[in-house]
Structure 1
Amino acid sequence: MGIRNFGDHAANERTLLSWIRSGIAVMAFGFLVEKFTIFLSYIGAALHQQQRFRSSVSAQAVGLALVALGLAAIASATYRYRVRGLTIDAEAMSTAGRSRTAVGLGIGLTLIGIFLFVYLAVGL
């Protein structure tokens, strides 16, 4: 006896795991962006430089935004996994619908990426 609609459930689970990996990667990058100035301070102290690096408000905001987007990606993926799992097992046919969450997360990441690019290029 097998699992009903196993292929669909397996694909749904793979999608969830992919979103979770992506969310963790975005959160890790956000942590790196926010804490990179600490690394620069330690390097400056080790090299006995007079100039100390201070944490930038822009870097902190971008780092926190990336962590929040990563959390949002994981939360929305978990919700979608549950809803799709119930839809797969339903007897009635239903439409897949559009993923506004994925588009919103993509737009958010794009805007943060543009800000990071400008921040690094211009040095806000």
Structure 2
Amino acid sequence: MSDLNDPRVFFAAERTLMAWNRTGLTLMAFGFVLERFGLFLHMLRQDASGAGRDLSFWIGIAFIVLALGVMSFSIVQFRRVLATLKPIEIPARYCTWAGMAMNLSVVLLGFALLAYLFSEL
């Protein structure tokens, strides 16, 4: 339990949650770019066998999965921090679940992106 009785502790935890969200989004975008870069290379080579799934595809997928893991773990960590705070440290009528909902929605959209990438060939 925190003994600071200061709402800044809560806001610092929320800023950390959003920083992990930005990190996850960046990793996901980088993974998507890597995956598409392999497709671009196949087009440049005019590969007759089709796009296929080469190393850039799997590295891109790994970055997207890493992003999903980072954002999911950040939700768990934020909930752990919330459990340690006293009610005085959380501003009255402040929505504590909004940041977690944003991270969760990005995770769900990330899974949709993975499904799209695996279905497209």
TM-score tier (shorter): 0.5 to 0.7
Cross-structure match for 1:39: 40
Partner of 2:54: 57
Match 2:68 to one of 49, 67, 71 = 71
Given that residues 31 and 64 in structure 2 are in contact (C-alpha distance below 8 angstroms), is that contact kept between their aligned partners in structure 1? Answer: yes
The answer to whether the Cα contact below 8 Å between 2:38 and 2:57 also exists between their aligned partners in 1 is no
Task: After TM superposition, list the pairs within 5 Å mapping 1:1-124 onto structure 2.
Answer: 5-41=6-42, 44=44, 51-53=45-47, 54-55=51-52, 57-89=54-86
Instruction: Note if contact 2:33-2:60 (Cα within 8 Å) is conserved in structure 1.
Output: yes
How far has the Cα of 1:57 moved from its partner? Answer: 1.9
Q: How many angstroms does 1:23 deviate by?
A: 0.4
Regions of 4+ moved over 6 Å: none
Relative contact order higher in (CA < 8 Å, ≥ 6 apart) = 2
- C-alpha RMSD over aligned residues: 2.0
Structure 1 gaps, min length 5:
45-50, 91-124
Q: How many residues align?
A: 80
Could you tell me how far apart the structure 1 residues matched to 2:42 and 2:55 are?
Answer: 17
For 1:76 and 1:16, how far apart are their aligned partners in 2? 10
Q: Give the gaps of 5 or more residues in structure 2.
A: 88-121
TM-score where L is the length of structure 1: 0.57
Q: Deviations over 1:41-71 (max 9, x none)?
A: 55x4xxxxxx415555211111110000000
**2:46 is paired with a residue of what secondary structure?**
coil
Q: Computing the radius of gyration over CA atoms, which structure comes out larger, 1 or 2? A: 1
Give the drift of 1:38.
2.8
